[in-house]
Amino acid sequence: MDRVFLSLVLLVGVASAKNLGIVDGKPAEEGQFPWQVSLQVLVPGLGWAHVCGGSLISKNRVLTAAHCYDSSLHPDYNPELVATPNDIAVLKLATDANTDIPQIGTIPLADVEDDFTGEECTISGWGRTGGDQPISNELMFVDMQQISNALCAWIWGALNIFDEMICIYDPPKSSCNGDSGGPMVCSGKLAGVTSWGQVGCPGSTPSVYTRVSSFIEWIKEQ
């Protein structure tokens, strides 16, 4: 994916389950998620196509999933694994985003001491609204409960869940194909980056995210 366009969209309205859409969600309103980014690839003869989400964390940096891009990746990311730890990347913009307008803004990162277990968090993206549905033309969102890693590991298996991951689970809601790299926001902070989930997005298992607070120092160095 050597040609990627970052679009800061102004809103109007596991095979591997990487490149996770929002299942059982609803359309976002204009300016509701000003940090939401669409990563798009140029398809010959077809134009630009959405492939992943991302979050604007400063005027010139976007946080997304490592499996969405091929540079600025975390050095310990291993694409050969399905339940991928260290699935995080920082993209640098060629020019600063115009955060002087209300539709575009940044999202603060979760702190190391933050524990969102049991809280209602919000996920958003342009991904599929169901396993057999196309990529959404509208930015969708849904609120889901963040669960402990112990519960997430009990459902997914201990070998698949790492401390650097954070899970949400609220059937039948789910992230889905096309949501990868997008935000999970808890208490107004970016807590997670969409990483992986169950094939077909049935919502019967947790959606798994990269835990942002585990990578604070690395993010600052990028």
Q: In whole angstroms, what is the distance from residue 5 CA to residue 169 CA?
A: 31
Task: Give 212-218 contacts, CB < 8 A, sequence gap 24+.
Answer: 212/63, 212/88, 212/109, 212/110, 212/166, 213/109, 213/110, 213/111, 213/112, 213/114, 214/163, 214/164, 215/74, 215/86, 215/88, 215/164, 216/109, 216/111, 216/112, 218/74, 218/88
Q: Coil, strand, or helix at residue 85?
A: coil
Residue type, 31: G
| Residue 213 known to be catalytic | no
Question: If residue 149 lies in a helix (H) or strand (E), which one and from where to where?
Answer: helix 149-156
Is 74 assigned a catalytic role?
no
* 180, 195, 213, 214: the active-site residue: 180
Q: Is 87 a catalytic residue?
A: yes
Instruction: Catalytic residue, from 67, 136, 207, 214: name it.
Output: 67
In this structure, what DSSP letter does residue 131 have? T
Computed on alpha carbons and rounded to an integer, the radius of gyration of the chain in Å comes to 16
In 14-87, DSSP assigns E strands to 26-27, 36-43, 47-58, 61-64
How far is residue 33's CA from residue 29's CA, in Å, rounded to a whole number?
8
3-state secondary structure of 66: helix
Catalytic residue among 38, 50, 74, 87: 87
Report DSSP state, residue 5. E
Q: Which residues are catalytic?
A: 67, 87, 180
